[in-house]
Amino acid sequence: MVDDDEQHHKHRRLATIVAVVLAVGMAVSLVIVTIAIAHAVYAGNLDNGLGENTTQVLIGWGGGIIGVLGAFIGYAFGRADR
């Protein structure tokens, strides 16, 4: 029985590491896309500046990342209290 519990904890730790790596990767990609868009606007490559659709996509993407990270962190701390 101890082996099954220990194996479950190893899988849980691996899932935690994978979730954090994916979240960091998504956050870094959001930063890169935001910097690229800001640079394009600043350099004058976009005639109208930052459009409504672009702004909505960036806000939605950033909000989604924050929501997923918040849910994961809340779950992780809730499991740690038990």
pLDDT at 48: 64
pLDDT at 75 over 60: yes
> From residue 57, how far is each of 15, 16, 70, 74, 75 by CA, in Å?
28, 27, 20, 25, 27
Question: Structural domain boundaries of the chain?
Answer: 25-81
Q: Could you tell me the pLDDT band of residue 62, with boundaries at 50, 70 and 90?
A: confident
The pLDDT of residue 79: 75
Q: Is 58 helix (H, G, I), strand (E, B) or coil?
A: helix
Single-letter code of the amino acid located at 41: V
Taking 80 as the threshold, does the pLDDT of residue 67 lie above it?
yes
pTM score: 0.57
pLDDT in tens, 19-61: 778 878 888 888 888 888 778 778 877 666 667 887 788 788 8
